[in-house]
Amino acid sequence: MSLFGGVIPITGISFLMFCVFAILFAGYALGRITIKGVSLGDAGVFVVALIFGALFFGPLEAQLVTEGVNYAEKALEIIENLGLILFVTSVGFIAGPKFFGNMKKNFKSYVLLGLVIILAGGISAVACIYTGRAIGFGSSIESSEGFTAMIVGLLSGSLTSTPAFSAAKATVAEEYTSLVSVGHGIAYIFGVIGVVLFVQLIPKLTKADMNAERAKISVSDDGSEVKKKSFAGKLLDLDHYGFAVFSVAAVLGTFVGKIKIPLSTAGLGGTCFSFTTTGGCLLVALIFGHFGRIGKLNIMPQQQTLKLFRELGLVLFLVGAGIPGGADFVANFDIMYFVYGIIMTLFPMIVGYIFAKYVLKLSLLNSLGSITGGMTSTPALGTLINVAGTEDVAAAYAATYPIALISVVLVSQFLIILF
């Protein structure tokens, strides 16, 4: 593709890089637009990436298809995964020093809230299945199994859960895997934007005093930070910014994420659960961040490094997921399925918030941090950190995320088996 009438020819990988940075610029500009105190923030990058994917994914593919291989998809997948690793590893390091103290204080609450959110998502999916069958919606899909596959795809998209998406595809009959993909693509967009807006609207609707809320969520760590400070000036850094230890955590996290845990009697040949790269990197970084050092070796990157990687990782993830997501959305859009996806995003969040506030008595920021973890929403956590004005919400996200990750995989599989 040549720009400006061929005056500036841009092709191949150069064209892709041009597109990525153009999307970042336009997305940040869109995210700055504020209406009554609410903005898209970093999700503006996702919206622009969606629009770009809907309008220009074809020309982008044409530039990067060689000998039948679609390098555009592969390049975007690399960008998405690189961004995800940078983001979740940074979050793990940031949350690590206070994570275990927070878990000790609120462990039961985090587990219960994660379960309630996912179960609410499962209930909304069941309601959509019965409603759709009662009114004849989805009759274009030849079998009830196919309709269920579509709904489960919508559920994984509404919760932005790649593990649930993968588990659903592995569980349904082969002829229905494409329906899972279609449903996931339709619901994914609101699944991202809905949670981002939710964590901004709730503090405003409740007229929360954010200074007071930040004080409530600030928990004392279990001594790891004090121990590290006592070694100040004595610790050995492999490099000034902490790139080396960050890389080690990412490598170990990737391996941990590949470990498969059988969920059926068929063993590794049957249905398996894994933390995926996201969960693996988060877990390893939490442990690194908690201990802070090994002997005299500093294993905690600089805070400015973590904040930069967290932001860079988030927007790269949004670009990598947004461009193909926009193309898929246009190709498969159906208004009723889109509405189902909205229901499956909103209902679990509302139920989770009410449960956290009135039953568990969690503070506002603990509740919202846990909801982003329960919804397995990476972009929403980035937004919440900016809204809250504190990194402490990352600990609530990290505590709820694992139980939600396991639960959504199981719920998706049960829906396919039962319906």
pLDDT digits (tens, 9 = 90+) for 14-25: 778 888 999 999
What is the reported pLDDT for 44?
85
Q: Which of 313, 282, 290 is nearest to 91 (CA)?
A: 282
Residue 324 confidence (pLDDT) above 90:
no
pLDDT in tens, 261-287: 776 555 555 556 667 777 788 889 989
Q: How far apart (Å, rounded) are the C-alpha atoms in residues 104 and 328?
A: 43
Q: Provide the pLDDT for residue 15.
A: 79
Q: What's residue 144's pLDDT?
A: 77
The predicted structure's pLDDT at residue 345: 94
Give CA angle at 378 (372, 379), nearest 5°. Answer: 95
d(CA 94, CA 248): 16
Is this prediction's pTM over 0.95? no
Extract the tokens encoding 31: 């995210």
pLDDT digits (tens, 9 = 90+) for 182-197: 888 888 888 888 988 8
Q: Which two tokens stand for residue 57?
A: 């994914």
Q: Residue 190 and residue 155: Cα distance in Å, rounded? A: 12
The tokens of 175 are what?
């002829």
**Ramachandran class of 97: left when φ > 0, alpha when ψ lies in -120 to 50, beta otherwise:** alpha
Q: DSSP readout, 230-298?
A: HTTTTPBPSSSS-HHHHHHHHHHHHHHHH--EE-STTGGGS-EE--HHHHHHHHHHHHHHHH-EETTEE
| Rounded Cα gap, residues 78 and 265, in angstroms | 34
pLDDT at res. 358: 92
Place of tokens 């009830």: 144
Cα(43)–Cα(290) distance, rounded to whole angstroms? Answer: 30
Alpha carbon distance 419, 415 (integer Å) = 6
- Position 246 scores a pLDDT of 95
Rounded-to-5 percentages of helix, strand, coil across the chain: 75, 5, 20
Read off the tokens for 95: 């949350």
Which comes out higher in pLDDT, residue 354 or 11? 354
Task: Look at 91-95, 116-120, 326-330, 338-342 and tell me which has the smallest mean pLDDT.
Answer: 326-330
> Residue 206 contacts by C-beta under 8 Å, 6 or more apart in sequence?
364
Give 301's pLDDT tier (boundaries 50, 70, 90).
very high
Task: Report the range of poorest mean pLDDT among 97-111, 195-209, 357-371.
Answer: 97-111
- Tokens describing residue 245: 């230890």
213-240: buried (b, 16+ CB within 10 Å) or exposed (e) per residue?
Answer: bbeebebebbebbeebeeeeeebeeeee
Of 327, 348, 164, 116, the residue nearest 151 (C-alpha): 164
Q: What is the pLDDT of residues 23-56, one digit of tens each?
A: 999 999 998 888 877 777 777 888 898 888 888 8
Q: Are 395 and 368 in contact (CB under 8 A)?
A: no
**How far is C-alpha 208 from the chain's CA centre?**
26
**Which of 122-126, 153-157, 238-242, 267-271 ranks highest by mean pLDDT?**
122-126
Question: What is the pLDDT of the chain when averaged over all its residues?
Answer: 81
Q: What is the DSSP letter of 141?
A: S
The pLDDT of 231-258, averaged and rounded, is 86
* Residue 180: partners with Cβ closer than 8 Å, 6 or more residues away: 149, 150, 152, 153, 156, 165, 168, 169, 172
Residue 251 pLDDT grade (very low, low, confident, very high; cuts 50, 70, 90): very high
pLDDT tens for residues 382-405? 888 888 888 888 888 888 887 887
Nearest to 352 by CA among 413, 319, 397, 302: 397
Give the pLDDT band (50/70/90) at residue 223.
very low
Q: Which residues contact 244 (CB under 8 A, 6 or more apart)?
A: 238
Q: Assign 208 to helix, strand or coil.
A: coil
